[in-house]
A = this chain, B = another copy of it.
Amino acid sequence: MHRGGKPCCRRGGGSGGGALVEPAALAALARQGGHGYDLRREIRELTGGELDVDAGGLYRVLRRLEEDGFVTSAWAEGGSGPQRRDYEITEEGRELAQDWVAHLRERQRMSGLLADALSSALGNDDDRTNKEG
């Protein structure tokens, strides 16, 4: 789902970057809400095209978030085209999103820490080229 950047380290499917869809969905919802198909586009735009989440996965995440009270949804009334379900973030959802911010920063830190450790263990004399991001 990463688009750009080789699949790298022996991954066929599955996890690899760890939990990006949920926070991305929450970010899109916090900005403006809307229906799933549109949220997906919004995520692409928010991340400059770097994160293109799986549609099926996104819908599953949205329904689970609703089950747990972090978003609400309803079938959009009127309008042409296929039925669409509009999502809105709740106050609890905002709190969850706030937790995610801290969590993502921690992940960011840990990724950098490990990258530095690996790099120095390999004898790369401090190639922090991409450091920070």
Contact = CB atoms under 8 A, between A and B. Distances in A.
Interface in A1-58: 2, 5-6, 8-11, 15-20, 22-24, 26-28, 30-31, 46-48, 50-51
Interface stretch (A71-79, A80-88, A102-110): A102-110
B118 A23 contact: yes
B131 A105 contact: yes
A49 to B, nearest CB: 11
Contacts of A100: 8-9, 115, 118
A74 to B, nearest CB: 22
Contact of A118 (B18, B30, B114): B30
A101 B113 contact: no
Given A98-B122, A101-B118, A106 B23 contact: no
A102 B6 CA distance: 10
Interface string A91-133: 0001011111111111111111111011101101000011111
A15 B2 CA distance: 17
A122 B18 contact: no
B109 A17 contact: no
